[in-house]
Amino acid sequence: MNQRRESVMSDKRVSFLGLGVMGYPMAGHLATHGYAVTVYNRTAAKAQKWQQTFKNQVADTPAQAARDADIVMMCVGDDNDVRQVAEQALTVMKPGSVLIDHTTASASIARELAQICQEKQVDFLDAPVSGGQAGAENGQLTVMVGGDAAVFEKVKPVIDVYARHSQCLGESGSGQLAKMMNQICIAGIVQGLAEALHFGERAGLDCQQVIDVISKGAAQSWQMENRAGTMIAGKYDFGFAVDWMRKDLSIALDEARRNGSTLALTALVDQYYADVQKSGGGRWDTSSLLTRLR
Ligand code: NAP
């Protein structure tokens, strides 16, 4: 990070709305990098815990947090949550300020918010993230951004406080569309890995030994490197939940119906995740696809 650019940006007043698994550490990185941060969380206890840890300001409402802020970030649940929280923040955001939404949501809500922001002379970026809880805690997220490239360049030093890579990929909605590509890839890769482990177990192989070998070759993936061992051990408590994945795949499948793309594998894996939910695994991580096969 260019230190002079960061110190110029840290004069900015920043507010962060939504201190969940992702938002809590992201807002924490802003505070530890010297930004004056005001946070808001619907469940006040989390905001109080954050305040005790990071010694910055807490607000009681999104509007109170966003008042006077130069940059307002948010990371909540789905489209409805984004609409609710953003609408409240936008009642007070000043012209020239920037609203950055890190939630994984639809491209249409991104375009809708960009339009509302434009009317209020506020800049808007859709900026979903990848990298999971560990990426948020280590400040190593990948951020996929949609919106005005010049606005992105202005706020990039702030985003990069918790990102190892951030990039503007086109007009409003492009960040969300890129995140959909990310989730489409993950669905197919995790199902492939689950099937390989299922096959290996039935074949009587030592699956961990096989993974150690094939992860050096063309079958290698992040999922193989990071999840195969825990899948073999039957442990499914490693971050991104099946319930969230189904929300993301539903957004991608809706978008595919709009743009005419064929997502046969994604649609199938989405139904497999529905099976996992039915068996009580909504909060298990996405690698729990293997439970259907065992
Ligand atoms: P989470 O732990 O469930 O946190 C959600 C946050 O949003 C909480 O602070 C919640 O407040 C707040 N919220 C939800 N609806 C709200 C509403 N209507 N009004 C006000 N606040 C509201 O979720 P997360 O894991 O941080 O994920 C957040 C977003 O990032 C999701 O879109 C998710 O798909 C995406 N994401 C998650 C991961 C991951 O590994 N977890 C990875 C990449 C992307 P309360 O505390 O009051 O519930």
CA of 124 to the centre of ligand 1 (A): 19
User: Residue 84 Cα, ligand 1 centroid: separation in angstroms?
Assistant: 13
**Ligand 1 atom 31: residue of nearest CA:** 77
Give alpha helix (H) positions in the chain: 3-9, 23-32, 44-54, 62-66, 79-90, 107-119, 132-138, 149-159, 174-202, 207-214, 222-232, 242-259, 264-278
260, 286, 269, 248: which is closest to 107 by C-alpha?
A: 248
Ligand 1 atom index nearest CA of 133? 40
Query: How high is the pLDDT of residue 3?
Result: 58
| Closest protein CA for atom 16 of ligand 1 | 81
Question: Given 55, 120, 154, 179, which residue is catalytic?
Answer: 179
Query: How is domain 3-170 classified at the CATH fold level?
Result: Rossmann fold (3.40.50)
Q: Which atom of ligand 1 is nearest to the CA of 132?
A: 40
Residue 8: the pLDDT is 55
Q: What is the pLDDT of residue 200?
A: 98
Task: Note if 179 is an active site residue.
Answer: yes
Domain 177-292 sits in CATH at: 1.10.1040.10
The residue to mutate among 15, 17, 22, having the most atoms of ligand 1 within 8 angstroms of its beta carbon, is 22
pLDDT at 249: 98
The reported pLDDT for the residue numbered 11 is 81
- Cα separation, 291 vs 294, whole angstroms: 5
Contact 171, 146 (CB under 8 A): yes
β-pairing, 71-74 with 57-58? unpaired
Q: Record the tokens describing residue 43, joined without a space.
A: 């469940």
- First-to-last alpha carbon distance for the chain, in angstroms, is 47
Q: Is 45 in the pocket of ligand 1 (CB under 6 A)?
A: no
Chain region(s) in the chain for CATH 3.40.50.720 = 3-170
Is the CB of residue 75 below 6 angstroms from any atom belonging to ligand 1? yes
β-pairing verdict for 71-74 and 98-101: parallel
Output the tens digit of pLDDT for each of the chain's 294 residues. Answer: 455 555 556 688 999 999 999 999 999 999 999 999 999 999 999 999 999 999 999 999 999 999 999 999 999 999 999 999 999 999 999 999 999 999 999 999 999 999 999 999 999 999 999 999 899 999 999 999 999 999 999 999 999 999 999 999 999 999 999 999 999 999 999 999 999 999 999 999 999 999 999 999 999 999 999 999 999 999 999 878 999 999 999 999 999 999 999 999 999 999 999 999 999 999 999 999 999 999
In which residue ranges of the chain is CATH 1.10.1040.10 found? 177-292
Interatomic CA distance for residues 67 and 51, integer angstroms: 18
Is 46 touching ligand 1 by the criterion CB < 6 Å? yes
pLDDT of residue 238: 80
Best residue among 26, 48, 76 to mutate for probing ligand 1's pocket (most ligand atoms within 8 Å of CB) is 76
